[in-house]
Amino acid sequence: MSGHGFHVHGPHDHEIEHVAQHGSDDFASRIAVMTAIMATVGALFGYEGGATQNDAAMFKNNAAIKKTEASNQWNFYQSKSNKQNLAELALVIPGADTEKYKAEVARYKAEKEEIKKKAEELEAESHKWEDASENALHQHHRWAQAMTAVQIAISLAAITLLTRKKWLQFTSYGAAGIGVVLAGLAWMHI
């Protein structure tokens, strides 16, 4: 087109004008909108998957910390046992102050019970964190499966747009539906 009113059409200009005047391709529009919706849903699933993966890692870390604290308590318990054994051995040494060593044996026994109780509590806490980590990791896998199904649905939608096959459109919707079902299972911790 020039500034003097002379007008030359390209080979595709007529088609563009026709679409602009008479509407657009409804099939392509529906697929485009559905793909945008699936991409948004997929992004949400991806976020949830990442969040649950982070939770699983944090829970696993907490379990390891509690396990280390329990191990420290068990080492402390063993140290008290060794001291108790030495005090018991001192009881049989001739000329030793037996009352002193009897009191030490009793003290070490009492201290060991407190240490044992604390170590067992820490181990129980570690197991709770370990279970929470396993549950979060399972949930993460569900979110990842849902995201994968939505990604497959988006890919099928792109192929549908190129081939214009209705059966591919429904297959794409089916894959998206599977993704939604998997997301529901993840949401319900199943």
Over residues 58-83, the pLDDT tens digits come to 999 999 999 999 999 999 999 999 99
The span from the CA of 51 to the CA of 137, in Å, is 10
Q: What is the mean pLDDT of residues 138-157?
A: 95
The answer to whether the CB of 105 falls within 8 A of the CB of 84 is: yes
Buried b (16+ CB within 10 A) or exposed e, 175-187: bbebbbebbebbe
pTM for this predicted structure: 0.72
Over residues 162-185, the pLDDT tens digits come to 999 999 999 999 999 999 999 999
CA dist 163 to 139, 151, 173, 183, Å?
36, 18, 16, 29
Please, which pLDDT band fits residue 95 given cuts at 50, 70 and 90? confident
Instruction: Determine the pLDDT at residue 72.
Output: 96
Instruction: Determine the pLDDT at residue 39.
Output: 94
Over residues 3-19, the pLDDT tens digits come to 566 655 555 555 555 54
